[in-house]
Structure 1
Amino acid sequence: MRVLGIVGSIAVANLVGATVVPQYVQEAFSVEDVYESVREVTDLFDDSSESSIFGWPHVPYFLKPGVDSEKIQESITIEQLNETAWDLFDAANKSTKEFGHPTRVIGSKGHWKSIGYILSKLNEHRDYYDISVQSFPALAGKVNSYNLSFVNDGGKVPTAKPFALTPPVKGFVGKVIEVPNLGCDEIDYKSLVIPKNSIALIERGQCPFGKKSNLAGKHGFKAAIIYDNDPLSKNGISGTLEKPTKNTVATIGVSYKEGKVLIAAIELSKNDYSLYFEVDSYVKNVKTKNIIADTKHGDPENIVALGAHSDSVSDGPGINDDGSGAISLLTIAKELVHYKINNKVRFAWWAAEEEGLLGSVYYANNLSPEENSKIRLFMDYDMMASPNYEYQVYDANNKDHPEGSEELKNLYIDFYQSQNLTYSLIPFDGRSDYVGFINHGIPSGGIATGAEGINKKNGFPFDQCYHSLCDDVSNLAFDAFLVNTRLIAHSVATYAKSLEGFPERNLNVTAASTSEFPYRGSKLIV
């Protein structure tokens, strides 16, 4: 009773803002005993009660036990994940009036509501976290409709897909002209006679799609078709023009097979072959925000960073992509507050991932050399609960990636093996927010559960609702969601406790070239 009575006084004092605990209490009782007693008292208080007006009913930091992986994993439940998933879906619904369906695309009410929701939950623990936002400009675009069709019968060109961030062009009939080589150099266009309203036909390869489109526009083409260079590709190209310029023209991609069909048609017509080309789209600048939450405690010279993205595509609410990662981070951030840590932890929710990893790349590009050097590692968590999932680990190594990336991979593998779960290795190909960190020499790793690719176990997509309207709460595999959230908690607890044995940062490593990654987010760039 004496312990509980004294600790009860401490807890009440804490409620009214007192932060100093008498020295005799610290000396008389073990931290663990006092901590458990404080939890008994503070559990009596509910945020909705009148007592909440006095502040947070939180345990003083010095009374908390050291972070424990097993305990923090045990505290995570499916009920927590489900509740937050519904909250994010409710946020997405705020966009329904404007878009006709729920979405959390940047610039939408649904995305601003998502940002506000995450901030409000973090704010409940502002005694544990320093919370900030980072504003940045982002390019956003949408293709409302497009039409690439044959003039003779009006049939649509198979596999045709517009590139993300393509500018619009009003419908016209244009002569199709094959650009020699790969359309990446000025000289490729010098020998061409380019009539008004012509369409460039360019093979994929060597340089980014955006450069091909820019050069085509610069030399007088009104639009461009880029065909795949992979004979095995059957579905066309899902690409992005990244950063359109004044020369960028409306651009559509097609498969290798359809590209060769068009080349044959040009030859058969003796260079007088035309198509109908139309794109209704827009590209605009949007201001949006990253969210950063740093623990107040832990070594600031050894920062353990992890991130997920807060936005979705415009076509749906994005509850798996990447509501699931955002939820995992928020759940763990709320549970970590019950523990002391040795290394500072940085949680990040990136915006504009779906526009080409813009938020995370902006953040990494704007780190000072000193700030960069303090980040010991970055962990990326994108799509944690695909319905037809497999447990995927990024196949990092210390030769091709910053030293320490391989250690992250091994931590994930060890966890799955300890749970008797099978896993697969997937490449660092540029499809998620690790890109900016790897390019700036920061060790990186992460896990996923699959996107539009095919699960070899059953021949069906990992996520049949990927980038679609049906990516709602019903699209989540909660068994995988729970496993992966607990794995993320394990990764945080492990490195927040100790970085012993983890490679020191090699600050002499220069930034890698972004061209090494064929993707920028979900879209190919080259």
Structure 2
Amino acid sequence: MHSILPLLGATSLAGASVLQQALINPTNQVLFGSYDSKPLVSSEALEAQITEKNLRKRAEDLFSIAQEGVEEYNHPTRLTLCHTGHLATINYIYATIAELDDYYEISNQTFDAVVGNVFEYRLVLGDRQPDSVLAMSLTPPTPDKEAVFGPLVLVANDGCNESDFPATIKGAIALIKRGVCGFGDKSALAGKAGAIAAVVYNNENGSVSGTLGTPSKYHVASFGISNEDAQPLIKKLEAGDVIPSSAYMDAIVQKTGTTNIMAQTKGGDQENCVMLGGHSDSVAEGPGINDDGTGSLTLLEVATHLADYKVNNCVRFAWWAGEEEGLLGSDYYVSQLSKEENLKIRLFMDYDMMASPNYAYQVYNATDAANPVGSEELRNLYTNYYEAHGQNWTYIPFDGRSDYDAFIKNGIPGGGIATGAEGVKSENEVAMFGGKAGEWYDHCYHQLCDDLDNLAYDAWVMNTKLVAHSVATYAVSFKGFPKRTDVKMNDVSEPSIYHGPKLIM
């Protein structure tokens, strides 16, 4: 854990009234008092303190905080790069925990994050702009943020080797197939060969949106398009046609300091910790009240009520910065753990997007065969809970799209739940959960409309109670849960196509 460094940013603490509220248990008795006088936590007691009213109030507080981003971005946002909206978010979290009668040790972890934002872009290939065109995350702008012009040139193979780029690529826009290596590698090789921009086309159906990842001096303005849009162009190029093209990108990529917040119970066995986290940032496009305001606020609500109880095992809450830029906060946190500190974390639970309006109850399919041993037991805890409460559930891939990634890659059992992002709901899922088939689980995912009207409170309450159950279960006992003996035991070393919300390859 790091030293306690109070956050004293210039922004206000939106929703300060929340910090004034007395903590009330289900029988309306104020429980703040000496630690020894508190009862041992139980799932039943902790779940009973979760209410829709409290979650609504926290969501309203967070939306007020997001409004502080208007000064910088002309709309509400809590982007890591937004020094008002995001700083106000972590101040709010810190101050809320600090009010809990010295129950937690609160710590900050400040680190440098490479973040970016795309303000505007255009891509014209021949006589049209592809309908599917998307800008890559962490792309640099075109030179001087002006349009560049040149022929479209097809790159051989997958564009993963210097030899794939013909001499004619100099001064041209490179058209590169997705696959084998990362988008950042393709962009850097294109830039090194003299290309003025890079376009990656999908190797399967649909548009492609990803991130270039760690910046390179060779990166060029980079776009993604669908295979459907690319094939007519490829046929023309292979026939020897010249396709005059242009690209324009107004974007920034820069390094900024940001902060993770951790809160660990002072009670309980400090050598055996239950850990859970959610991310404190949003995307640039909107306030992020579902993504991941709901996860962040779920943790805050559970942490608030846990302070009424004793625990046998320590509980550590974490709020990560820079998740939307590629899991930066959680990656940094795990990278700084010594072997001894790593082994104290018995499991990590990730909570991202708890209230999607067209929701499904989704459980990460974290098996022991493919992940650190213990992940499957956590997975089963979630499914058993849904079944015990008469709810359906469905598995989703455990593929690196959220902050559990660094934990499982470093031997720590992990898992989590979600309610869906940009995926399309099936007819079968409508029969299981209600809602609308053929529409995204969250039609406002990564958009300005991810606001107070974008929440399914029934799902949020159910999932927050499940989070409370997961915390209470392991805070009482790890009986039967696999003991960790080595950091490298069953760690996940295979690369994934995701590292965060966006594709990396």
Q: Aligned residue for 1:62?
A: 36
Deviation of 1:265 (Å) = 1.8
Q: Are positions 1:178 and 2:157 aligned together?
A: no
1:490-509 map, 5 Å: 490-507=469-486, 508-509=488-489
Question: Given the alignment, which residue of 237, 248, 254 partners 2:225?
Answer: 254
| Matched position secondary structure for 1:431 | coil
Higher-Rg structure is: 1
Deviation of 1:262 (Å) = 1.5
Deviation of 1:258 (Å) = 1.7
Whether contact under 8 Å (1:323, 1:383) holds in the other structure is: yes
Range with bigger deviation, 501-510 or 324-333:
501-510
CA RMSD of aligned residues (A): 1.7
Whether contact under 8 Å (2:41, 2:472) holds in the other structure is: yes
| Matched position secondary structure for 1:70 | helix
One-letter amino acid of the structure 1 residue matched with residue 93 of structure 2: I
One-letter amino acid of the structure 2 residue matched with residue 256 of structure 1: N
Q: Aligned residue for 1:138?
A: 113
Whether contact under 8 Å (2:153, 2:169) holds in the other structure is: no
| Matched position secondary structure for 2:167 | coil
Q: Aligned residue for 1:121?
A: 96
Unaligned runs of 5+ in 2: 1-24, 431-436
Distance 2:330 2:499 in 1: 12
Deviation of 1:271 (Å) = 5.2
Ranges of 4+ aligned residues in structure 1 off by more than 6 Å: 38-42
Deviation of 1:369 (Å) = 0.7
Q: Aligned residue for 2:433?
A: none
CA change 1:272–1:326 in 2 (3 A) is: same
Range with bigger deviation, 168-177 or 436-445:
168-177
Whether contact under 8 Å (1:384, 1:481) holds in the other structure is: yes
Distance 1:354 1:520 in 2: 10
Distance 1:416 1:39 in 2: 23
Q: Are positions 1:485 and 2:460 aligned together?
A: no
Q: Aligned residue for 1:324?
A: 294
Distance 2:300 2:272 in 1: 21
Distance 2:26 2:85 in 1: 36
CA change 1:195–1:300 in 2 (3 A) is: closer
| Matched position secondary structure for 1:276 | strand
Deviation of 1:292 (Å) = 0.2
Whether contact under 8 Å (2:81, 2:116) holds in the other structure is: no
Range with bigger deviation, 163-172 or 402-411:
163-172
Question: Given the alignment, which residue of 85, 90, 93 partners 1:110?
Answer: 85
Range with bigger deviation, 500-509 or 161-170:
500-509
| Matched position secondary structure for 2:61 | helix
Whether contact under 8 Å (1:73, 1:486) holds in the other structure is: yes
Q: TM-score, normalised by structure 1?
A: 0.86
Q: Are positions 1:239 and 2:214 aligned together?
A: no
Whether contact under 8 Å (1:107, 1:286) holds in the other structure is: yes
CA change 1:195–1:237 in 2 (3 A) is: closer
Whether contact under 8 Å (1:194, 1:220) holds in the other structure is: no
Distance 2:27 2:190 in 1: 70
Question: Given the alignment, which residue of 367, 375, 399 partners 2:337?
Answer: 367
Q: Are positions 1:521 and 2:492 aligned together?
A: no
Q: Aligned residue for 2:135?
A: 162
One-letter amino acid of the structure 2 residue matched with residue 243 of structure 1: T
Distance 1:476 1:186 in 2: 48
Residues 177-214 of structure 1, C-alpha deviations (whole Å, 9 max, x = no match): 2111111123323xx22354211111111111101111
| Matched position secondary structure for 2:158 | coil
**Sequence identity, in percent?**
50
Residues 221-250 of structure 1, C-alpha deviations (whole Å, 9 max, x = no match): 1111111111xx13x111000112101111
Residues 330-386 of structure 1, C-alpha deviations (whole Å, 9 max, x = no match): 000010011111000000000110001100111011111110011000000000000
1:91-490 map, 5 Å: 91-108=65-82, 109-151=84-126, 153=127, 155-169=128-142, 170-189=146-165, 192-194=166-168, 196-230=170-204, 233-234=205-206, 236-268=207-239, 270=240, 272-456=242-426, 457=430, 458-490=437-469
Distance 1:130 1:353 in 2: 23
Whether contact under 8 Å (1:103, 1:314) holds in the other structure is: yes
CA change 1:354–1:195 in 2 (3 A) is: closer
Distance 1:445 1:85 in 2: 25
Q: Are positions 1:87 and 2:61 aligned together?
A: yes
Deviation of 1:40 (Å) = 9.8
Whether contact under 8 Å (2:65, 2:85) holds in the other structure is: yes
Deviation of 1:509 (Å) = 2.0
Distance 1:405 1:295 in 2: 23
| Matched position secondary structure for 2:72 | helix
Q: TM-score, normalised by structure 2?
A: 0.90
Distance 1:218 1:340 in 2: 59
Deviation of 1:172 (Å) = 1.9
Whether contact under 8 Å (1:177, 1:271) holds in the other structure is: no
| Matched position secondary structure for 1:205 | coil
Distance 2:92 2:458 in 1: 25
| Matched position secondary structure for 2:334 | helix
Unaligned runs of 5+ in 1: 1-37, 44-56
Q: Aligned residue for 2:492?
A: 512
Q: Aligned residue for 1:31?
A: none
One-letter amino acid of the structure 2 residue matched with residue 386 of structure 1: S
Whether contact under 8 Å (1:42, 1:58) holds in the other structure is: no
